[in-house]
Amino acid sequence: MANNTIVISVDVGEIRVASLEDGILAELYVEREGEQNPVGNIYLGKVTRVLPGMQAAFIDIGLDRAAFLHVEDVLPAKDPDKIADKDDAASDGEDGENGGVDKRGRVTRKTPIRDVLKEGQHIVVQVSKGPISTKGARVTSHVSLPGRYAVYMPTIDHVGVSKRIGNDRERARLREVVDSCKPDKGGLIVRTVAQGLTKGGLKADVGYLVKTWEEVVATHQKTKSAPKLLYRELDVVLRTARDLFTEDVQKLIIDDAEEYERLRAFVGAFMPERINDVELYDAGDPIMDAFGLEDEVARALARKVPLPSGGYLIIDQAEALTAIDVNTGRFTGRGKDVEETIFQTNLEAAKEIGYQLRFRNIGGLIVLDFIDMERAGHREKVYRALLKVLKTDKAKTTVVRISDLGLVEMTRKRTRESLERTLYERCFYCDGTGRLMSKTTVCHEILRQIRREKDSLPGFKVVVNAHPAICDMFMREEKRALARASARYARQIVLQARKDYHLEQFDLAGQ
């Protein structure tokens, strides 16, 4: 097996893509039938609400929840591509001036949202961030169409080269090549995989993207009602070949014959030199089992993550942020002083945290609680080690230096739901809290409720309907408390076990 390999498992109703780097599972993408990620899709949407206080609007694009559009992501009036509906005020130039547009041709944050959008308006938008948790998708009017070697931006006149290409001479060469094949309208960004590419290869890629955009515009002009899907991004199989099948990847292996043929046709059209690196897996065992990935996925998604020397991480993903705690565990340093033991544990943690953030696709605000280090030099080295491992992450990250308390605040750009929330759901029994009221607490809550309701319950008996474990607790550990309550309230208390009840659920009845 090649060290860097992409494994695609095509199952009934589900496709999983595993990216292996140096033989280790680095990323996992899951796409299920009926749950395709809308990121990259282009829609003709309808403005349903304009919120001046938030400088934003909600756009109906046909998904379950309305999409969110910030004023800075709105296309300025008089744009040559006429992204907004031609009958709308924003396209008619009713704002009367271009004072709300910056040097890049974008609407500024201070521009009143009602000057550029109104309710009922039709507008073409692209999904930039998929629905996450209870939030709808985020959209933008500034469309970007990614190809194999370039990204075409029809609404922005800008030319750039990926910053990941570090060679200045190669950057200058690519800049010259892209300038020569730049279309009359729009801008281009050269992707990292274009390094060493000839002019002909880049020109063909740009031509394909420009043609795609022309088809989107033509569809928009024929469409009278909204919401309407104008362009669908590639599915996860072809998107994998386009974005992940780089020169660093030796093999792309897929286990479905039909998808294999479709994949070979795509690779043959855009990168014919790599067509022999696409392989069909046709052995008996499931492909994920053959590569030992099922156990790796389960291990990597555990709350407690072990470190090589005996320490461990605790990863808790909450609504507002993700907290990662570093602990020494059984790592004693083998004779080293305490400070050195802490330093080595934090170095291991920094490397593992970078991997975990990428694999789990954790985004938003993240707080890292490293073990306190007294030496400033150690804190700096751990910080540098964290930055180094994050450089391999395609998602944009911002990291603040380690504080005196050993905390690191950082953000990671989030465009789709995390892997944990994709594969797991909130526990229906504890409602996601991870805790249940103790059986003793429930027993005493029942006794308090009997005291509240005793005068309103008819008859001489109080029937307690509760979970069997609660009834068992009353018959054993809380037997004396039950007897004292019966004597105090002069009522016989009868226990009725109900298997269908939640552990914390109970009700009272008179008899």
| Ordered domains of the chain (ranges, CATH) | 5-36+235-294 (3.30.420.60), 42-231 (2.40.50.140), 303-423 (no CATH), 439-510 (3.40.1260.20)
Cα 15 from chain centroid (whole Å): 17
- Give Cβ neighbours of residue 118 (< 8 Å, ≥ 6 apart): 47, 50, 88, 89, 90
Element (H, E) at 508: strand 506-510
pLDDT of residue 84: 43
Separation of alpha carbons 370 and 385, rounded Å: 13
Per-residue pLDDT of the chain in tens (511 residues, 90 and over written 9): 457 899 999 988 899 999 998 888 888 988 888 777 899 999 999 999 999 999 999 999 998 899 999 999 998 765 434 444 434 433 333 333 444 666 556 788 888 888 889 999 999 999 998 888 778 899 999 999 999 889 999 988 888 888 888 788 888 888 888 888 888 888 899 988 888 888 888 888 888 999 999 999 999 988 888 899 999 999 999 999 998 898 889 999 999 999 999 999 999 988 888 899 999 998 878 899 888 888 888 777 888 999 988 889 999 988 789 999 998 877 665 556 788 888 989 999 999 999 999 888 888 899 999 998 888 899 999 999 999 999 888 888 999 998 877 799 999 987 777 888 788 888 888 887 788 999 999 999 999 999 999 889 998 999 999 999 999 999 999 999 999 999 999 999 999 999 999 999 999 999 8
Give the residue among 150, 168, 169 at the shortest CA–CA distance from 160. Answer: 150
pLDDT of residue 334: 58
- Sign of the Cα torsion 128, 131, 134, 140 reads positive
Phi and psi at residue 70, in whole multiples of 5°? -85, 155
For the packed helices 439-453 and 468-475, what is the interaxial angle rounded to 10 degrees?
A: 80
Give the residue among 75, 72, 10 at the shortest CA–CA distance from 256. Answer: 10
pLDDT of residue 86: 38
Question: pTM (2 decimals)?
Answer: 0.77
Identity at 394, one-letter amino acid code = K
Separation of alpha carbons 84 and 88, rounded Å: 7
At residue 56's C-alpha, the angle toward residues 53 and 62, to 5°, is 135
**Does residue 116 sit in helix, strand or coil?**
coil
pLDDT of residue 272: 87
Separation of alpha carbons 454 and 62, rounded Å: 54
pLDDT of residue 329: 77
CB-based burial, 285-308: b 16+ in 10 Å, e otherwise = eebbebbebeebbeebbeeebebe
pLDDT of residue 77: 61
Q: Are strands 506-510 and 397-399 parallel, antiparallel or unpaired?
A: unpaired
pLDDT of residue 246: 86
